[in-house]
Amino acid sequence: MSQVQASPARGPTLATSLPVCNPLQKEAMKIKDAVVLVTGANRGIGLAFARELLARGARKVYAGARDPTTVTEAGVQALQLDVTRPEQVAAAAARASDVTLVINNAGIAQPGGFLAADSEDTTRRIFETNFFGVLGMSKAFAPVLRVNGGGGLLNVLSVVSWVNGGELAAYSASKSAAWSLTNALRNELAAQKTQVLALHMAYVDTDLTRGFEVPKASPEQIVQRALNGLEAGLDEVLADEITQQVKAGMTAARPGYLTPAA
């Protein structure tokens, strides 16, 4: 699988073990003149995507948010979009029928393990956004992307797609499920020449990680590396060193997703 390897100091470099592009795809997605819809675009990584897309020459950026009045970035088109509400997803697909790239960024998290008293309710609520929201958006916009030439689908995932220490148990599980969904969509959408990219990263300096005293990447760094990977035709972007290490360790004698040996 092709990957972006990036360090904060050097930026992304490409490492290729297999062909980077889907064999049915003519060329990689380009941002210039693209029409893009970003979910959860009013803050954090979503806002950074909107800004960087405009800076790279996107023709139009739809900024989806539950409350469109919270979208204040100049140059974008605010779009009311709660990805857990099918009627709003359908309305977005009808209004944004010129979209060539969908960025599934909207996500929620809540600390806690699976043995907590409210874990079932918490897990269902998180999966509604982080998994079923991505699934619903992908199904609604797949025909739009096909009509517009194939385009691209970028799903914002996480390093916790592969590890779950229990601190963010439901969130981690939702990202694991979304990773599997992304891999399936890549195969299902290949015939219509839709490029599907999975973006994985560790801690990013957003509201979601407020209160975590750990090293964090900036949203701008993550977004730049994601879009560089998309335009390079990659299937997967590992946007920071921690994520690269965790993914590489999946084949270790004792992978990082297992508890430390006694």
User: Which are the catalytic amino acids?
Assistant: 171, 175
Helix (H, G, I), strand (E, B) or coil at 93: helix
Q: Tokens in use for 180?
A: 């599997």
- Enumerate residues 6+ apart whose C-beta is below 8 A from 1: 17, 18, 235, 236
Q: The sheet that has 3-7: what strands, in order across it?
A: 11-15, 3-7, 236-238, 195-200, 152-156, 101-104, 35-38, 60-65, 77-80
Amino acid symbol at 43: R
Residue 214, CB half-sphere, CA atoms under 13 Å: how many? 12
Closest to 181 (Cα-Cα) out of 203, 200, 196: 196
Amino acid symbol at 65: A
